[in-house]
Every structure is written in structure tokens, then in C-alpha cells.
Structure 1
Amino acid sequence: MTDLPEPNRPASPSQAPSQAYDTRQPLIVFDGVCVFCSGFVQLILRLDREKRFRFATAQSPFGESLFRRHGLQTDDYDSNLAIIDGAAFTKLDSFVAVMAALGWPWRAAKALLILPRPLRDWLYDRVARNRYALFGRKDSCEIPSAELRERLIG
């Protein structure tokens, strides 16, 4: 088992996002209208006691530029994107990288890496494709809580 999933290939510098952010802080870009995705962000807000993580909705210009930069679709936000220590992670690998960054006991999520990547991606894709039907969808990105607002970019 490796320490973290293999990150996505870095994007070229010419595709830099339109808004600067402190790359020393981990960033999660998520579907802001997805109830499941927003729930994941709320979970990270509770677990991240050091308040290191920053967040952006995929629907924001900043989030969309990051999705493009890392080769993700911008017409259907069926993956989340985590950027940790300059490395980009998507799909289930994003979840594993985020949980590992939180430390123990959440680091135990790395056990998912024993599954071959095609299986991890297949499992993630099944949930992602049905996330609105399973968990619901908001009409628009909700007004963030004060705690999320202070850590939201874009």
C-alpha cells in the first residue's frame, strides 16, 4: 500500500487559475449544488480542527478554472478535486488524500488504496453518476455558514 494515491498529472503553468490561493493550504473543489458533496465539506469543516483546508465550489469561476486546469469536465461536476501539497487528486483518491491529510484516525481511509485504481474509479463513478437521485440536489449553491465563508475561495 502506498502512502497516498498517485496524483493527477500537473497542469501546465499557462493554465493557471484566475485567482491566486495559498498553495500551502489544502484545497477541495466540490459541486456546490450536490447535497452529498456539500455534506462532505461540512464533515471536513468539523474534522479539520487546525482549519487548514480551503474550499471552492466547482461552479465558481475559480473552481471552474481549476477543473479545466486538471482536465475535468465543467458541464457536469461529477468529480471533486483536492489539491494537497501541490498534487491534484480526483474521484475516490481525492477522498483518501483528504482523509489522510487530517491525520489519525481518518488516515485509515488509505486502506482503500488496496483496491486497484480501475475498481476505485468504477465505484466512485457509480455514486457520482447517481448522486443527485440518491442524495438530492439544491437549486443553487447555498449561502455558506460563517465558518465555511471564512475558508471559501472564489
Structure 2
Amino acid sequence: MIEKGKKIILFDGVCNLCNGAINFVIKRDKKDIFRYASLQSEVGQKLISERNIDISKIDSILLIDPSVAYYHKSTAALKIARQLSGVYPILSIFLILPKFLRDWVYDFVAKNRYKWFGKKDNCMIPTPELKALFIDQ
């Protein structure tokens, strides 16, 4: 199911902001580090269950590094940015800020994401050329 050495990003498959973020990451993942699955998928639910993650406390994104652990909220977003091509790794400097501060901003956006960006009726279906990157297909 999970390719060795790959990190998994679990995301809210019906959230327009989350889908846009995944498309953004895919375009900038030049080292082919990440694989993707929606939180709502069978694979996503299995990964969550295996790690005893309380999904009621996590809004929209999880980064699973099979060799280490999992990260959520702002830590996940910044650790993902650290791996991207371009100037985006610079954003990881925000990891020096206290987690409660970073997560406050993250939670504010997550709480309003459907209102601001909308919501789909179904999870994202990747194009044929991107299908191999999604482990829930």
C-alpha cells in the first residue's frame, strides 16, 4: 500500500482549499517525496486508526512519516513546505514559533475553510497522470 521511503499526506477530500493545497504540493514535489489520500477514504481511515489518531481534534491535514511519526496542523504544513522546490522551504522557519501560536492561526483558517473556499460533494478524483500518487485509488 505505502511505497517505502514515501511520506503520506492525508487531507480533507471534500475541501476546496485542501484540494488546492494538494495540487500546489504535487506541482512542487520535485523529489517525489509524498503520496496522498483523503481522510475520508478507506486507506485514510486505516492509517488514522493504526496510529490511534483522534480525528475530532485534527482539521484537514496529517503528514505521516512512516519512519518517524505523524504531524498535524501547522507542523504538518510547515514540514511539507520544507520538502518542496523553490522558496517554500523558507516557510519552515515558522517552526521556531510556539506550536500553540501557529496552531491558533491554522485552526482559524481550518474552521472557516468551507465558508471561505467552499466544499465539494465528493472527494477529489485525480487525473490519470496523477493517479499513481494517490494511495486511495
CA–CA separation in structure 1 for the residues paired with 2:90 and 2:109: 21
What's 1:90 paired with?
Answer: 72
CA–CA separation in structure 1 for the residues paired with 2:87 and 2:76: 17
State whether residues 82 and 92 of structure 2, in contact with CA within 8 Å, keep that contact through their aligned partners in structure 1. yes
What's 2:9 paired with?
Answer: 28
Matched, 1:152 2:127: no
Moved over 4 A (4+): none
Please list every run of 5 or more consecutive structure 1 residues that lacks an aligned counterpart in the other structure.
1-19
Measured after TM superposition, the shift of residue 56 of structure 1 is 0.5
What's 1:99 paired with?
Answer: 81
State whether residues 23 and 86 of structure 1, in contact with CA within 8 Å, keep that contact through their aligned partners in structure 2. no
Q: What letter corresponds to residue 20 of structure 2 in structure 1?
A: G
Q: Give 3-state SS (helix, strand or coil) of 2:40's partner.
A: coil
State whether residues 32 and 57 of structure 1, in contact with CA within 8 Å, keep that contact through their aligned partners in structure 2. yes
Measured after TM superposition, the shift of residue 146 of structure 1 is 2.0
TM-score (norm 2): 0.87
**Cα RMSD (Å):** 1.9
- Of 14, 27, 30, which residue of structure 2 is paired with 1:46? 27
Greater share of helix: 2
Q: 1:77 to 1:90 in 2, by over 3 A?
A: closer
Once the two structures are superposed, what CA deviation does each residue of 1:90-134 show, in whole Å capped at 9, x if it has no partner?
001101111112255221011212321111111111111111001
Once the two structures are superposed, what CA deviation does each residue of 1:31-61 show, in whole Å capped at 9, x if it has no partner?
0000000001000110012322100011111
Q: State the percentage of identical aligned residues.
A: 37
Measured after TM superposition, the shift of residue 147 of structure 1 is 3.2
CA–CA separation in structure 2 for the residues paired with 1:72 and 1:134: 25
Q: Give 3-state SS (helix, strand or coil) of 1:130's partner.
A: helix
Matches within 5 A, 1:5-154: 20-68=1-49, 69-73=51-55, 78-84=59-65, 85-102=67-84, 105-154=87-136
State whether residues 67 and 81 of structure 1, in contact with CA within 8 Å, keep that contact through their aligned partners in structure 2. no
**How many correspondences in the alignment?**
134
Q: Give 3-state SS (helix, strand or coil) of 1:112's partner.
A: helix
Measured after TM superposition, the shift of residue 23 of structure 1 is 4.2
Please list every run of 5 or more consecutive structure 2 residues that lacks an aligned counterpart in the other structure.
none
